[in-house]
Structure 1
Amino acid sequence: MDELFKTHLQNHSLNGLSSICKSDLHNHFGKGGNIKYIASIADIKIDMPPEKFESLFHMDKWFQNNIKNYCPYIKRLQAAFVQAASDNISILAASIGFNDENMEKFIQTMKSFNQQFAPNTILLPELDFARGCDTDYELSRLDEILSYNWYKSIDINAGETQQPIKNFKKIYRKAKEYGLRLKAHIGEFGTADDVIEAVEELELDEVHHGIAAAKSGFVMKWLAKHKIQLNVCPTSNIKLQVVESYATHPIRKLYDNEIPVTINTDDMSVFNQSVSQEYLNLYKSGLMNVDELDIIRKTGLKEIEYYEN
């Protein structure tokens, strides 16, 4: 498998790469489907997203106007499973919201979709909270949410400056009591200090994005020492104008400083790049070689070990 992966990279074979087992550990599942597939099941025409987004607001507006308004959430989740299968995603950590109307039915639907559309994919549902949420309210219903024993990890996303990260400590302590793996979006638009603060305050196991850490030698050494994994999304960073190009992406610096990193899609139906394409983009840019990318691929596949122990 390792040699095949390297050969497919060297041959620039996207089809070949799609046949190799990979992980996607940073995936907003409601945006996880292929644009063409969504267009087909919703019977709509979807214009391709712009080359660059001006902001997160611009990105969300494009998604709302082109996909969300026309394709129901449950259909978009189906599309995300189909995408995972088509790219041979073996381990999928997917942000999936809490369905407070009928959670038991929703879980059964997800299990059915998993079996029907992506039987070789291990789904690790991730409970996510918006950074601007009412933390007291979310804490008050957390026992109910986690009592289903379905979610495997927890995350905070969107708007890194909306409220102090410490406001989420009680939520994260509760999640830890239930055995969830602790993650958070941080260091995408913020600073290296934001990354270390979030890891310490919330006792994070992993960071979604975290690329701002590359601006601080001290923070990179600290993350490497504590083996804090960064789940990086190269195309997302470029299209949101955080990073100029694949050739200059800070994953190179993070990897060189011995921080465990993984490569992921973030929002497939917005950024329009599969995990296989992300690997190929980094290789073709000359940023990383086949051996380094294979190490990163295997780092992602180790994710399941955290949930089996």
Structure 2
Amino acid sequence: MSAFQTALEAGDLAGIRACPKADLHLHAIGSGNRAFLRERTGRDIAPVDRVLVSMDDMHAWTGEHLAALFQGAEGRALAFEATFVQAARDGVARVEVGADVWEITHHDNQAQPAWEMLLAAHAAGAPDVEWIPQMAFSRHCPFRALEFWMTPMLDLGVFRTLDLSGDEFAQPIEVFAPLYRRAKAAGLKLKAHVGEWGTADDVWRAVEVLELDEVQHGIAAADSPQVMRALADAGVRLHICPTSNLKLGRVARMEDHPIRALVDAGVKVTINTDDVLIFGSSLSEEYLALHRAGVLNAAKLDAIRLEGLS
């Protein structure tokens, strides 16, 4: 039995933290370390204490509690540094996070200063944590704006993954296909948020249209044996955030989380935080919560941990 499994079965959070893990689905504005931010700003940001009923509800909460703290270039730099600090303090050995392409608007539409901000945040917050730089789109943004912002970011040649986040229903998935084709030609790994609010068919449609390698959330796939089989056969990996799913009302109880059905169907999954500052659960606590709820045993959770590090 590995040290990670032993710590899980003993309910030893410190032991879980001591084992390397990967957080591959998180957002910098909501993923900072609470204690670090309190030390730097004097503000104590308590996580959400109720179930949020929609993405609009979440955005309203974020606007009230986080927006002022992370405004402008300096605020964004603080958000990224706090995110890396959180990774380091929770034993995260690999983190996949980066800038939304609109980030360059904080730097006179220049990509290099935005990249240098990310480099500085990583160096200050977690220089020993492996960082996979990610470029991201907000789904509500017009195509032309995304194309304009994406071009200099892509031309830097430093980003390794592409993600699409935000309201799943803001625009049809087909709108983003040309941008994803450009990213694929540049060698980026392709991801997108889908199946958090939508359907299993939406998940598979996104995989086909955008030629996704991985899906952020994707839990709706558990509603369709056919879609789960297709994901398993294609080797598409889902990056799942259990506490986020609970706090956004997508799952009623941790005991009911569909990650079990996905794993049993042979779908590759990882466990992630999404927004630890908002939802209040570190990556180590996500693993422990799933184990305590009896969703997956220690061996399966260990296999998922190693999948994220592979």
Please, what TM-score do these two structures have when normalized by structure 2? Answer: 0.93
SS in 2 for 1:68: coil
Relative to structure 1, the CA distance from residue 143 to residue 45 in structure 2 (aligned partners, 3 Å threshold; closer, same or farther) is: closer
1:233-270 alpha-carbon deviations (Å, 9 max, x no partner): 00000000000111110000000000000000001110
Structure 2 counterpart of 1:111, from 90, 113, 119 = 119
Deviation at 1:289, TM superposition (A): 0.3
**Residue type of the partner of 1:7?**
T
Relative to structure 1, the CA distance from residue 33 to residue 246 in structure 2 (aligned partners, 3 Å threshold; closer, same or farther) is: same
Superposition RMSD in Å? 1.4
How far apart, CA to CA, are the structure 1 residues paired with 2:296 and 2:68?
A: 39
SS in 2 for 1:90: strand
Give the corresponding residue for 1:146: 154
Relative to structure 1, the CA distance from residue 174 to residue 57 in structure 2 (aligned partners, 3 Å threshold; closer, same or farther) is: same
SS in 2 for 1:207: strand
Identical residues among aligned pairs (%) = 37
The reply on whether 1:23 has 2:26 as its aligned counterpart is no
Deviation at 1:141, TM superposition (A): 4.2
How far apart, CA to CA, are the structure 2 residues paired with 1:161 and 1:214?
A: 20
How far apart, CA to CA, are the structure 2 residues paired with 1:106 and 1:145?
A: 9
The reply on whether 1:124 has 2:132 as its aligned counterpart is yes
Relative to structure 1, the CA distance from residue 193 to residue 81 in structure 2 (aligned partners, 3 Å threshold; closer, same or farther) is: same
Q: Which moved more, 1:224-233 or 1:86-95?
A: 86-95
The reply on whether 1:263 has 2:266 as its aligned counterpart is no
How far apart, CA to CA, are the structure 2 residues paired with 1:210 and 1:161?
A: 14
Q: Which runs of 5+ in 1 are unaligned?
A: 303-309
How far apart, CA to CA, are the structure 2 residues paired with 1:46 and 1:278?
A: 20
The reply on whether 1:163 has 2:171 as its aligned counterpart is yes
Deviation at 1:117, TM superposition (A): 2.2
SS in 1 for 2:24: strand
Structure 1 counterpart of 2:209, from 191, 201, 209 = 201
Structure 2 counterpart of 1:286, from 290, 294, 300 = 294
Q: Which runs of 5+ in 2 are unaligned?
A: none
SS in 1 for 2:252: coil
Give the corresponding residue for 2:79: 76
Give the corresponding residue for 1:306: none
How far apart, CA to CA, are the structure 1 residues paired with 2:142 and 2:187?
A: 23
Give the corresponding residue for 1:242: 250
Give the corresponding residue for 2:13: 14
Structure 2 counterpart of 1:223, from 219, 224, 231 = 231
Give the corresponding residue for 1:134: 142
Give the corresponding residue for 1:305: none
SS in 2 for 1:54: coil
How far apart, CA to CA, are the structure 2 residues paired with 1:254 and 1:45?
A: 37
